Copies of this chain bind each other. A is one copy, B any other.
Amino acid sequence: MELAVAEGLHRIGPEGHLPEHPQPVDQHIVEIVSDSGEGAQTAGQLFGSISARMGNGVWTVEIIPAEIEPPPRSRPGASGNRIRLGRTRVTNSGDTADVMVAFNEQVLFGRIDSGALRPGSRVFMDNKWATDPQPEIRQQYAEALEEFRKRGYLVQEIPLEEECKRLVPDPRRGKNMWTLGLLCSLYQRDMNIAREEVKRVFSKKKTDTLERNWQLVQAGYEWANTHLPLRYQISATPSAEPTVVMNGNQAVALGLMAAGIDVVSMYPITPATSATHYLAGVLERAGGFIHQAEDEIAAVNFAIGASYAGRTAATVTSGPGLALKTEALGLAVMAEIPLVVVVVQRGGPSTGLPTKVEQGDLLASMFGQPGDAPKIVMAPSTIAECFEFMIEARKLAETYRGPVIVLTDANLATGQQPFPRPDVQEKDLAPPIPQSPWPQGQPPYAWDPVTGLSPRPIPGQLNGIHVVTGLAHDEHSHVAYESGTNQRSSVMRSRKLATFFRTLRPPKIYREPEGDLLVVGWGSTRGAIEEAVDRVRDEGKRVSALHLRFLSPLEPGLREIFSRFKKVLTVEINYSDDGRDEAVPPEARRYGQLAWLLRGSTLVDVDCWTRVPGHPLQPSEIENELRRQLDLA
C-alpha cells in the first residue's frame, strides 16, 4: 500500500470517511501525546478546563514519562494528557481513547504499549515525519502508519508542524496550542470560554505570549473547521454552582490548609511531592509552615514534635517514606499524638514503580508497627474527597488523639476533575491551641474507661506538666512496666477505634441492595468500578458495588450487606494470587489487601480480582471480570 503523505488540507487517509454532521456522543476520551517539553500537557489541561466550564463532566490525567528528559521520539518518552469528557459527571479515566493527537509516531507506540488504543480509535498524526530529512525517520514513520492501520486505528495525518511554522519560528512551542484549537473545533467548544482559559494560563507571561498562543489556537480551530468534516457533539449542562478543577494532590494541599494544618513536614518523594510543591508556594499565605526535612524519619518526628507542642501537623509521603516512618507512627499511637499522614500510594514493593498507581499500602498502614498500634485509616475516592478528607482527618486525629493515615494514590494525585467549589469555613480550621490552665490534678491521659478518649495538655498550660514517652505508661504518662497498666493502656488505645466505629453508619450500596455479585472497592477505583457495574447492571445482571472510605476501623454492617449477595468480590490495584492459578493451592492463596481485611472481619468468603498494571484499572477490564464472575455464579 502506498503511504498517505499529507500534501494539503484535503488529504484524508483511506479509512478516514468522516461524517459530515456532528456525531452525538455521551462521552469521549481524547489524548494528546508528544515528546516531553512540547507542551501537550498544557493543551490537554486547557481542553479539560474549557470543557468543564461548558458543563461537561471531565476527568483529565497526565501521561508522564519515567525519565526527566527522555530522548525525543521514544516510546517511554510519551508525555501528554488524557481528557475524558462526558455529558454528565465523569469519575475515571475510562478505557481506550476515542481520539488521539500524536506529535510523532513513537510516542503513539508508547501509548499502544499502555493499552490506550483500540481498533477504531481515531488518530491525528503530525505528517512532518513523512518528509523528514533523515531517511530512517521517514521509514520509521511510514512503517508505523502501516502498522497503525493494520491495528485498525483510523489514522488521519495533519500538517501540524507545517501550519504552526506559519505563525511561530519554533513549532515545538506552538503545536500544542494549535492542537487545542483543532480539538475545540472537533468538539465545538465555546471559543469565548477557550479564550478566557488560555488567558488565565498565560496571565503571568508577557502579553505577546498570550497573543501568540491564542493565534495558534485560532489557527488550529480554523484549519479544522475548514478541513475536517468531522464533529462530535457532547451536550453539557453548565453547573450553577461555582466549580473548581484541580488534581488530587492540589486538593490534598488545599484541604490541609482548609483544615488549618499549621505545619507540613515532608521529604520529597514521587508521587506525593507535587502536593508539597504547591504548599511550598502557598502555605505561608495562610500562616502555615512547610518543612523539608533531611529524611522521612526527621520529617515525621518533626511533625510529631510540632503536634506535641499543640500545632496541627501533617506529613505527606509515599510507600518508601511510609516504611521509614513506621517507627515514629508507633510512637504517635503510643503517646497519643495527633498527626495527619497522607500517603500517595505508588507501585511497590521497595522503590517499585515510583510514578505509577497502586493500592498496596493498606496493610502496611494498619499493621506496619511492631506491637499493637491501632489507628484510623481512610481513603478518598474522588478529587473532592481528597480535599474533604483532610479536614476530616485533622479532626479525627485530634478527637481520637493519634495518627490518621489517609491513603490516596498516583491516580488521584494526577487526575483532575471538576467539583463544587468547597466552602471554606472558619469552623474547620484547627482551633488555637489551649493555653489556659489544665484542670488541677487531671492526668495527661485521663482515659474515659468506655471510650478511651482523653483530653490533651499542651506545653504552656499550667498544671498540665507531664513527660510524653513511647515506653509503656500509666495515665500520668509515668513509665510503668506492671502487667495491669500495660494491659489497661493497651485497651484504652484500642478502645478508641471501637468508639469511632460506633459513630459510623453502614456504607451505601451502589445500585440495588441485593443480588448475585457485590463488588467492593476502596480509594481511587470507585469511578471505574461503578461505571463497570452500571454497564453490567444496565443489562439486567444483578451486580452492585460498595465503596469503603474507612478501612480501620472497617465500616459497620458489612457482614449483613454481604449476606444479601451470592458472591462478594473486591477489586483492587494491588497484588493477589489469581484464584484460577493452578500453581497456587487454594489454602495458600494470597488475597488482595481489602479482601484480606474483609475475610478476617466478616468470615464471608470474599474473593478478589486485583491487578498491578501500574495504571488505573479500566472500567472495561472490571466489566469483563464481572461478567466472568456472573457467568460462574
Contact = CB atoms under 8 A, between A and B. Distances in A.
Interface in A308-354: 318-320, 322-324, 326-327, 330-331, 333-335, 343, 345, 347-354
Contacts of A355: 481
Contacts of A483: 114-115, 611-615
A21 B373 CA distance: 55
Contacts of A76: 481
Interface stretch (A168-176, A227-235, A258-266, A596-604): A596-604
A567 to B, nearest CB: 14
Given A361-B370, A498-B585, A486 B353 contact: yes
Contact of A472 (B343, B352, B481, B588): B352
A369 interface: yes
A523 B144 CA distance: 62
Report how many copies the assembly holds: 2
A433 to B, nearest CB: 24
Contacts of A360: 370-372
Interface in A343-395: 343, 345, 347-356, 358, 360-361, 363-364, 366-374
Interface residues of A, number: 96
A469 interface: yes
A341 B502 CA distance: 40
A212 B393 CA distance: 68
B371 A347 contact: yes
B368 A498 contact: no
A153 interface: no
A588 B364 contact: no
A478 interface: no
Contacts of A18: none
Given A347-B472, A583-B450, A590-B497, A334 B352 contact: yes
A536 to B, nearest CB: 23
A501 B585 contact: yes
A577 B371 CA distance: 14
A322 B323 CA distance: 11
A440 interface: no
Which residue of A356, A499, A554, A583 has the most chain B CB atoms within 10 A of its CB atom?
A583
B356 A371 contact: no
A379 to B, nearest CB: 14
Task: Name the 5 nearest CB pairs between A and B, nearest first.
Answer: A348-B371, A349-B371, A319-B370, A350-B470, A483-B613
23 contacts: A319-B370, A334-B349, A335-B350, A345-B370, A348-B369, A348-B372, A356-B481, A361-B370, A364-B370, A372-B590, A483-B613, A487-B613, A494-B577, A497-B590, A498-B583, A501-B587, A502-B588, A554-B587, A559-B587, A587-B601, A596-B600, A599-B601, A603-B603
